[in-house]
Amino acid sequence: MQEYIDIHELFDKYIKKELSDSEIIAFNQRLNNDESFKQEFGLYKDIVTGINIASEDYLRGKFNELDNKSVFSGKRVMTFMYLAAAVVLVAVVGTGIVIKMNQKQQHDDIIASNEQNIVDDDSNTQVKPEPEKIQAKEPDNNEKLLAMNTYKDNYKQYPNKLVPKSRGEIPKDSLPLAMYYYDNQDYSKAELLLSKLLISQPGNEDIRFYLAMSKMATPDVKGALEILLALEKEKSTKYYYSVVWYSGLVYLQSNDIAKAINQFEKITAQNNPYKASSEEILKLLKK
């Protein structure tokens, strides 16, 4: 086997499998026959393990600074082990200190950044204060009582002017059957059937109007108002003044006096069957 001035180089090449086949055979024979060589190799492997953990490049430089011949001779083997262990310890502790310092610097940077953001936010808040939110005024108890009483005094269900009362068998799922339920004040069944009929006839103003009347009696106030307001936009509808009148009553039912007044004022602008009643309601609501 080639003679290596630095025994560490031999050990290193063996561990890295860089020796030739003949050198490996000679190395293994010496390892089996030379107890001192075996101990030295075992010590080297322990040190290399420490080097790999702590930082191989750093410790290898420290390792090469030692007098190998003197260290691996006689009683000084233990001294080398202590030195190697100290080097490993210093490297590990030193690495930990560097990591901690970096973490602390990152932490300080984050804190400083957050503090600056807070200052910037405060400055922006001072320059651009948030506008005060205006909440809608809730009706007081007197207004609610006024709306409720006015509604009760004026609400009457719109009569069935669409289909005469049937004296014979009523067809199933038909407009006459829906109006039969309507006449008998079974508004839930009338609403259900009219809703079904509206699917196949979405533009039918008769079905839409009586569906709104049925919902109002259920009472599905929101659903009734949605249909009535949609019909109101279609001013050519034959139900126009009835639509405006009943939507005004729905607003009273919902305690929205301001919107109710707006609807009744539309009615008083022209002659129609609801004009006189609307004028009386306006006198009450505007007191």
- Per residue in 29-69, pLDDT (tens digit) is 998 999 988 988 888 887 777 666 655 455 455 555 554 44
Higher pLDDT, residue 8 or 132: 8
Nearest to 92 by CA among 126, 49, 135, 129: 49
CB 190, CB 214: distance < 8 Å: yes
Higher pLDDT, residue 186 or 2: 186
pTM recorded for the entire structure: 0.52
Rounded Cα–Cα distance for residues 215 and 51 (Å): 85
Q: What is the pLDDT of residue 283?
A: 92
Whether the predicted pLDDT of 211 surpasses 90: yes
Nearest to 191 by CA among 181, 200, 183: 181
Helix (H) or strand (E) holding 145: helix 141-154
Q: What is the pLDDT of residue 100?
A: 41
Q: Angle, to 10 degrees, between the axis of helix 275-285 and the axis of helix 141-154? A: 160
Q: What is the pLDDT of residue 85?
A: 52
Q: What is the pLDDT of residue 152?
A: 92
Domain ranges of the chain: 1-134, 141-285
Rounded Cα–Cα distance for residues 73 and 37 (Å): 11
Rounded Cα–Cα distance for residues 156 and 162 (Å): 17
Superfamily covering domain 141-285: Tetratricopeptide repeat domain (1.25.40.10)
Whether the predicted pLDDT of 134 surpasses 70: no
How high does pLDDT run on average in the chain? 76
